[in-house]
Each structure stands twice: as C-alpha cells, then as structure tokens.
Structure 1
C-alpha cells in the first residue's frame, strides 16, 4: 500500500453559499469558530479527489469544472457536509529534502495560497500530508515540516487579505504520532505567535472500518484486510462517537472519500466519464448517521478550550530517541526571501461568483438504481453553513439508462485507507 507523502498547500474549503459576504472561520483557543457569530464550527466533511492520486499532473482539477462541481455540491449538501478537503498538489520529497525544499517549490505552494486566499470559505491549508509515515521519517523530516509551515504562515501574513490557519495531516503511525503532535504544535522560545507552529492537527485514522468497537486488535491483527468485503457497506458507527463525547478534543472529521476508486471500496459515489453519478449505499448510511446529530449542540461554545496556550518547545516533549529534538529550522532556500517579500509574480487569484444555476443537469442515480429527480443546490444565507437536512429533497423514479454510454472513471491510486480525518487543534496542551 502506497501512502501519499506530500508536503504542500492542500486545503479545506467550507461549503458556504457563493455570495460575496461569506462569514469565515478562525482558530480560537482549541476550536474553529465563526468569525462573526463566534459559534463553534465542527467539521462534517469529505475528502474530494475525483480521479484519485493519479489525477495529479494529468490536467485534472476537481474544482475547475462548474458542471461537475454543481452535481457534487448538491450531493454533498444533501449529506449535510460543510467542508471538503482538496489535495493532489505538488509534493516535497521526504527522501530528498535538501533539493526539493527550493524556491521552485515555494513558488508553487505560494501560488496555491494566491489562488485561494481571496475566497472567504477557505478554512485552512495543510503544510503536509503523511510526510512522516514511518519511524525513520521522524529523524530528519520534522524540521522541514515546521519550515514549510513557517513559510506558508509568513506568506499569508504578508500577502493574504486575512489570516488563514495552517496545519498538518498525520499518518496513524503509533510509534511517532504523539511526538509528531508535540513537535509540530509547541511554540519555539515560548512564542505563541511562532509562525512555524501548526494551528490544527489532522489524524488520518485507519481504524473502525466496520460495525465493531473492538478496533485495536482488529486492525493490529490485519483481520480488517481479511474481512473487508464482509463489512460493507459501511455503517458509520463512528459518527455518533466523533460528534459525541470526543467533541471536547476533536473538531469533527472528514470521510475518506467522496469518489469510489477501483483500488478500494471507501467511496460514497461512483463517477462516470460521461458526467453521470451513482450514489452508493455508504452515502445513504452516512446521511442517516448525520441526520441523528444535534447540530446546535455541536455549535455551542467550548469555554474550557478558549485560553489554552501552546507549550514551549523542548526536547522533554519528545518521548522517542529516534524522533527529532532539533528545533533549529532550515533557512529559506536561495530566492525564497525574495518570493516571501515580493510575492509570486502574476498570481492567478480566484474570486467568488453569484450562483445562477442551481439545478443539476447531469443524470444522478440513487443506490437503488433509480434516477434522482429535482436534484439541486440550495443557496444559504451569508451567515449560514450547511448542516444535515439543508439540501433539497430528491424523489426517485425508475430509469433503464443508468449505464448507457457510461464508463466508470478508473483510478488505481492507493492513497491509504483513511476512514475519518479528525481535526485536533494544536493549541491543546
């Protein structure tokens, strides 16, 4: 199994209405909060990567086709999602850090910031995804992760119209997970404004892929691989727990993944080359699980987490001798300071546009094989984010043309068996 190892500006997008006065989200203490209402923001999201990992470098961009985005946005709104995670951006090679951490690389990730910073519904950028996914990576890689986090934060500070949080998404490697958290979230010299410190920490959790609560031995024994085909479709038992007694620490999660790939059965929706889509039973089950959540309770404040400060960086925070205790970070590469000071030349900056088309024109089918009728997005007021039950109700009618001329989009990418990405803010000590 190949795990995506990238150190780049992947991002969170909030599924807010497409109008000019969207209320954005900030980090406050150990929470994401609405910048205007100060309501706590809990992520109900999905990894959105049509085409899989193979799509990178092939001219495939999940956000560039408005017709396909409208189709997917309607299905996501029907689920009650409020966040998507978009990745497949340039990677920093952990096996060749010195040469890949360059001004060319910085120009690329700064260009991503330029392209997205004007959107008020950008929740945050990832400085890395599973860059440290084995014990050996813990020795030399951590300072570079902090260096890229520093560079992104400094660029945002100089060139973005607003502050946008930067975080890290970790692999579920038990031997280095705690040290990764401690190393990336502490404040060098105790400086709470330290730009190299992450503001949120994502955990790509590989457990709980079926209707069981005894996950530790289940995964450790590899029985999960043995009986995967017998625990489908997913029943989403973890939803009530993640958005229940874990909310004092977690800020929600993102389901892996929206798109059904050939290499695994973790997708919610089959996508076809002619634009047709087919909802899987996993989608229906997740929709039912989300519908049981108390959204108002999730939005209520977490007063105990408001004034938490990051600990001062120290070797005492690191438990393993094989993990880096060096908090002296790499300096900017040649040409990096000029990029940081003057910005990317001729940046391509996106902007919000008004919604003029709400009805989905492409055929979409339910898990029962019947075509969904009246599928559409429902624009929200500027002070709202999507919640379960927001989307339009879609009836269904029989159709015999579901797969007429439709060829499944194929991808053989293996990006890991992520079930839920839980966001854990780095201000929690």
Structure 2
C-alpha cells in the first residue's frame, strides 16, 4: 500500500474525529424477541425511526442506481448529510446497495456517534445481484448467495447493523408473487443458515425481507411461515413492507386515515410472529399543502401515528421515503429545484446546485418544508410504557409461525443449483470493530456478548482507494441543524481520537 493512501485515510479519519459538536450516543446490537425488537444489552424496547438514504447527485457519473455511497471513499458525500438525518430525529437509515469489498468503517462509526443503525440490503440492481423475475428455481442466481455471504461478513462486525434485508420488492417484478417467492424464501434460508453456522465468531444479525404492498396477506404469511415446519431457517426474522397508505391530505387524525388504519388492522389479523416494519412510507398527493413555495409538502402525521400504542402493537417503526429527491426520476414532472408536485418528488430535501455531481461540483443538501414536519413528528415520539425484553411476553396467538398460503411452492419441491456451491469459510476469530474514541458495546457472537473490553478492531478495515469518482473538496463544515436525533447528546471528539484514527489507518496497511 502506498504511503499517500495511508496518509489520506489517516487524514480523513482524523477530520472525522475532530468534527465539532458530534453527538455521542453510541449503539448496542438490536435483538428480536417474538414480534418486537430490543436493545440486546440494556433490554430497552426499540422501534425504527428511519429514513431511506440514497444520496444520488443531480448529474454526472454518480447519477445512477446501484452505487455504494457509504464507503470511506465517499466521506465528503455522506458526512454532510448525517447531521440532517439525525436532526430529523432518525435512529436508523436504510441502505439499498453496498459493496462488500469496500470499507464502511467511517460511515458506520459516524452513524453510531448519533445512536443510529443501518438496515442493509443484501441484494442490488446489478446483474446476478438479486432474485430475478424468472420462475423458481431459476430466479435465484448462484452469484447472489456468495454476494450475501460477503456482505454479512463485511457488516456483521458493526453493532449498529439493525438487520439484513434479503430482497427489495421481488414481488414487484412479477405478475404473481408465487412465481419467484420460493427463490426469495430460499435465499433467506441460506443466509440464516450461514449466520447460524458462523455463530461462534460473528453476531447473528436478523435476516428479513422487504415486499411491495400488493398481495399483502399472501406475502406476509408466506415469508412468516415454514413450508417445512422442521426447518427453523425458512422464515424471515422480520418483515418489511413498502407501503404508501396515508394519502388523504385532509385526514388529521389516525382514525380518518382509512388506508393506514386498514393496513394495521390487516396485520393484526395476520398474527405475525415476527417484527413488521414499514420499510418505505410517505405517500405523495398534490392535495398536501404548499409551504414556502413548495407544493404538496407531506405533513408526516403518520410518522407520529406509527408510534402510538395501537400501532406499536403491530409495527416496529418504519423508514420514510426518502432523504433526497432524485433528479433522474423527478425531472420529467417536477424539475429542479423541485418546487412543483410530481409523482417522484419524494425528497425530504434536494441537492443543489442543479449541476452538482458529488465530484467536480459538490452537492449541498437543502431541506424542504416537509423535512421540518417529519422532524417534528420523529422528535416528539415516545415509546414510554413498552416493556423491556425481560418483561415482554408475546401474545399467545402470535408465538407460532402461521400456516403457509396456498399456491406457493415448498422449497423441498425444487432442486436448487445454489446448493452445489460451498459457503464462504467462517472467520477464525470473533469479529468485532471498535470505532475510534467511542465506547464499545463489547464483542458479540451469535446473540451472546462474550467480551466487554474496549479493544481494537479484530477485523481491520479495507483500505480506501483513490478513483476518478472520489469527490474532492475540503472537510465539510458541520451543518447548523440541531442534533436532535434519538438519544443524541452534543459533545466534541477528544484530541485523543487523532492517535486512534492514525493507528487505525496505519493498521490497514500493515495488518
């Protein structure tokens, strides 16, 4: 490794460590008991106040899908956004595409400093990176199995990985979910089996799945059930629904939001034995008010309703869609600066200037009025009254996996090509990672904490590489947006972080 690369890494880590007024909240792993989520260390109840995050620029080479913006290489991109994410009251972000060969240490540590988690997709939109629209079993490409295992090994060391998503809306690419659902279910099984097989050296991060909101009952039951009742790995450990239900701009009370309450009622009837999250929500409607010149600004009342006692009995929070409007999707109906209503103008804000490309022209996030509305809801939420993990007893009607719906194939009825592929070898020693100048949650294997000692990372980060798409520019000045994220408290990193960051960077080269 070249000395210049070492110094570049050290400089970036040091800049991160010295950033003023960084909120120091930190995180512990999240675990599942029944259909609820809890802090594995303290036992406190957890629900996601999330935002879907894909910082796509307005133009340039990075104006595309399937780019991993969350690496150390792209510090100049995400570091300017995290304070806005935290300021909105978020305690989690959802990541749609990651590259397991790159280091995500700095991004995950930055999230952790605000007490924020990441929901990480195992698939992506690249060739062979997701369940396809082919009929089972051909819809499960062998390359996806290897990709999933590589991502698990790359991210399981971070205690703020909330979960792994085995797929995103695979039911959206077929006319009927039963066409490719067995492939998705098989992939879930393979990833859960891999994690279990490596549970002596890696944390058992929950594996779930995200579906589009059609064939609601069939999908929910199929991914919660086991076609082989004896196979404990078949069902998802959590279920995500991309649902855009609160579209009535005139509804100001939860009981007036018919689609939203109907969705909750449906899931009460489904008696899910696993946690359910709204992994995308935030319906657009031109009837929402115009605020400060921006049309159709969502009020985000449903973000508050989601944390009411009635909804907490059904859902474990959700993720609003999305952080920034994507110019490529919105420009046909609502062009820059996105003040007009458009069916793809989903942003809590947008990037300026119009020509920003995250490279030669840096992008600067500009909140829209609906950002403030979401922040008002998320920052006012409370989960008071929820039992701790020890005190929680699941309802007896939701302790067993449900019967599988008719019309969906059993996994045992197919011959799976991926079964001929060997899994990646498990790590020889327990994976852990300690963020510079942060208090560690300890080392976890399976669902057990095996060490509470603050130690250097046992898995050294991948060295960032310099490429033509690496954004340029000075270390960004932190936003003045108040740090009001979940459990956040303001405090600057100590000067001792410099040596920790330098040691981490140098360790990359010589490990």
TM-score > 0.5, shorter chain as reference:
yes
* 1:62 alignment counterpart: 70
Quote how far apart the aligned CAs of 1:182 are: 0.9
Aligned residues: 341
* 1:249 alignment counterpart: 314
Once the two structures are superposed, what CA deviation does each residue of 1:246-269 show, in whole Å capped at 9, x if it has no partner? 111110111101122232222113
**What is the alpha-carbon distance in structure 2 between the residues aligned to residue 391 and residue 232 of structure 1?**
34
Quote how far apart the aligned CAs of 1:114 are: 1.5
> Which residues in structure 2 correspond to 1:203-222 (within 5 Å)?
203-209=241-247, 211-213=249-251
* 1:116 alignment counterpart: 155
| Residue from 69, 73, 77 that aligns with 2:82 | 73
Is 1:333 aligned with 2:417?
Answer: yes
Asked whether the 8 Å contact 1:45–1:84 carries over to 2, the reply is: yes
TM-score (norm 1): 0.68
* 1:39 alignment counterpart: 44
**What is the alpha-carbon distance in structure 2 between the residues aligned to residue 210 and residue 196 of structure 1?**
38
Is 1:236 aligned with 2:275?
Answer: no
* 2:209 alignment counterpart: 168
Secondary structure of 1:68's partner? Answer: helix
Quote how far apart the aligned CAs of 1:68 are: 2.6
**What is the alpha-carbon distance in structure 1 between the residues aligned to residue 141 and residue 426 of structure 2?**
15
Moved more, 301-310 or 269-278: 301-310
* Distance of aligned partners of 1:388 and 1:238 in 2 relative to their CA distance in 1, 3 Å threshold: farther
**What is the alpha-carbon distance in structure 2 between the residues aligned to residue 293 and residue 16 of structure 1?**
19
**What is the alpha-carbon distance in structure 1 between the residues aligned to residue 258 and residue 186 of structure 2?**
34
**What is the alpha-carbon distance in structure 2 between the residues aligned to residue 377 and residue 155 of structure 1?**
38
* 1:106 alignment counterpart: 145
**What is the alpha-carbon distance in structure 2 between the residues aligned to residue 335 and residue 181 of structure 1?**
26
TM-score (norm 2): 0.58
Is 1:353 aligned with 2:392?
Answer: no
* Distance of aligned partners of 1:339 and 1:330 in 2 relative to their CA distance in 1, 3 Å threshold: farther
Secondary structure of 2:170's partner? Answer: coil
Once the two structures are superposed, what CA deviation does each residue of 1:133-177 show, in whole Å capped at 9, x if it has no partner? 37832222221111000011011122361111111111111xx11
Q: Which has the higher contact order (CA 8 A, sep 6+)?
A: 1
> Which residues in structure 2 correspond to 1:82-231 (within 5 Å)?
82-88=91-97, 89=124, 90-95=129-134, 97-133=136-172, 136-159=175-198, 161-173=202-214, 176-191=215-230, 194-209=232-247, 211-213=249-251, 227=287
Secondary structure of 1:324's partner? Answer: coil
Give unmatched runs, 5+ long, in structure 1.
Answer: 1-14, 365-371, 379-385, 393-429
* 1:426 alignment counterpart: none
Coordinate RMSD, CA, aligned: 3.7
**What is the alpha-carbon distance in structure 1 between the residues aligned to residue 174 and residue 419 of structure 2?**
32
Asked whether the 8 Å contact 1:46–1:255 carries over to 2, the reply is: yes
